[in-house]
Amino acid sequence: MVDDSASEKERRPVVQALAAVLVFAGIAGVLWGQKELQGSSDQGPATCSHDDHKPGGGRVSAARLCTALNRSDLPSLLGTPQEQAETAYGTESSVTDADGTETPSPEAEVSLKTYSLKLWASDDDLRVGELSGFIGSAEPRTVLGHPAVLYSDHTIAMRFNLGGGKVDTSTGGIARHLLVARDAEDGGGSFEVVIWRQDSIPPDDTALLRVAERVLPTVPGWTGG
């Protein structure tokens, strides 16, 4: 007999990883289009934009995630102090389980010349310790006293042929994910910070950890360790 709950837990990281890849692909297209239209930007750091959907039940909003991630010292935390945020936005989204249960998963994205970052919030009852067993490249970590997991996946590279109206896709660079429990007891729910570079160079884990340690304590729903 198949344990449906166990099967769903096993599928969850895979679904998140696939969603992340698709999101990266979409972001690549958006950023490419914006850079083509804007050219060199000397208008100052980007401010957060977001959709009009408002989360209910006291949950953290995508707008709040964006505000937390798009900090003034973000370039310095990334080791690129001469850069600034070029795009910043939040999106309300959700993940639907096999039984039809919909779990809110708001997200925010900030991109600079060298790095892009994403911040997710998951308001489910799954523990990071449970999820780590289903992620093949999982590396256990502790972030500010909270259980965490560090793992990798690939982005998707997109090339636009304006003349032919085609989009070519291929495997992109490495994205590093840091999945962190909301509380020190790992009682369910998590935040996920993702970092990747605009080129093919692997991102800096030290920069990812610095960002997570500064950003996560400022997000509603985080419980101090």
| CA distances to 39, 52, 60, 155, 186 from 22, in Å | 25, 22, 23, 8, 28
Q: Which structure tokens are listed for 59?
A: 């949950």
Is residue 166 predicted with pLDDT exceeding 90?
no
pTM above 0.95, yes or no: no
Confidence at residue 33, expressed as pLDDT on a 0 to 100 scale: 38
Is residue 20 predicted with pLDDT exceeding 60?
no
Measure CA 28 to chain center: 14
What residues does each domain of the chain span?
4-218
If pLDDT is split at 50, 70 and 90, which confidence band does 21 have?
very low
Mean pLDDT of 70-76: 97
